[in-house]
Amino acid sequence: MQQHFFSRSQHAARSLCQGLHPRMPRAAALWASLALVTVLSACSSPAQRIAVYDFGPGATAPQPSNRMAPLPPLLLADVEAASALDGTAVLYRLAYADVQQLRPYAQARWSMPPAQLLRQRLRELLGRNRSVLSPVDALVPGTLALRLELEEFSQLFASAQSSSGLVRVRATLSRSGSPAKPLAQTSFILQRPAGSADAKGGVQALAVASDALVLQVDQWLQQVATAEITAP
């Protein structure tokens, strides 16, 4: 296909040169033929569309009201992220080549920064058993407050064909007030295999790892709350 197009381009360029005025300088004729080849190449190579990803549609049916939620309300702060994770690029690392380097996929991006996608998922899933509040909401002193720091969110390639979605988060739980009362802090590391060695496989693995992270955060919140109640 490319050879056929190139032959046609050469033929068109030769035809253009032959049709030029015999007194036209040779350099001008060459530039004119190159311009024609460039134009034809641009017409034959449509620009690739950038794929935009998120974590999926979430709940597809109405959820029961949480007015009688069994768990106490939770203030969910905005998820903080390292500057490298603050954009919408879908990132990957090559553990077998240069694991310290974060690389972006050229033809894929997130619909919003991963920290925002993660908070959206946390709010949705944690809100099934409790009221989830935002920093702008009026708070009762002593409300549980959760703050997350996103430290890693990338597709990690162990080899050219084997990769996984890696999510690492530091979580801090406190009770609101002046000053806030710290309760606990921990880190979560979730890794899920990717189904393919490309952006699509990485995105799916990161979405699965994020959902698993939310479940672990939920369990941790309940464990800390129970330990606080039973503490002497």
User: Domain check: are 38 and 152 in the same one?
Assistant: no
Distances (CA, A) of 98 to 31, 94, 101, 193: 43, 6, 6, 20
pLDDT of res. 46: 55
User: Domain check: are 31 and 123 in the same one?
Assistant: no
**For residue 60, what pLDDT band results from cuts at 50, 70 and 90?**
confident
Least confident segment among 34-43, 89-98, 122-131, 205-214: 34-43
The strand pair at 51-53 and 98-110 is best described as parallel
pLDDT of res. 10: 46
pLDDT of res. 180: 85
pLDDT of res. 54: 96
Tens digit of each residue's pLDDT (9 = 90 or more) over 154-201:
999 999 999 999 999 999 999 988 888 999 999 999 999 999 999 999
What's the helix, strand, coil split of the chain in %, to 5? 35, 30, 35
User: Domain check: are 224 and 184 in the same one?
Assistant: yes
User: Domain check: are 79 and 131 in the same one?
Assistant: yes
Q: How many domains does the chain have?
A: 2
User: Domain check: are 39 and 145 in the same one?
Assistant: no
User: Domain check: are 79 and 21 in the same one?
Assistant: no
Which domain does 212 fall in, by range? 51-59+67-230
CATH number for the domain spanning 112: value is 3.40.50.10610
The H helix count followed by the E strand count for the chain is 4, 9
What value does the mean pLDDT take over residues 112-140?
91
Selected residue with higher pLDDT from 40 and 95: 95
- Do 101 and 84 meet the contact criterion of CB atoms below 8 Å apart? no
User: Domain check: are 218 and 106 in the same one?
Assistant: yes
Q: Residue 140: in which H helix or E strand, if any? A: none
What value does the mean pLDDT take over residues 89-96?
97
User: What is the pTM for the complete model shown?
Assistant: 0.76
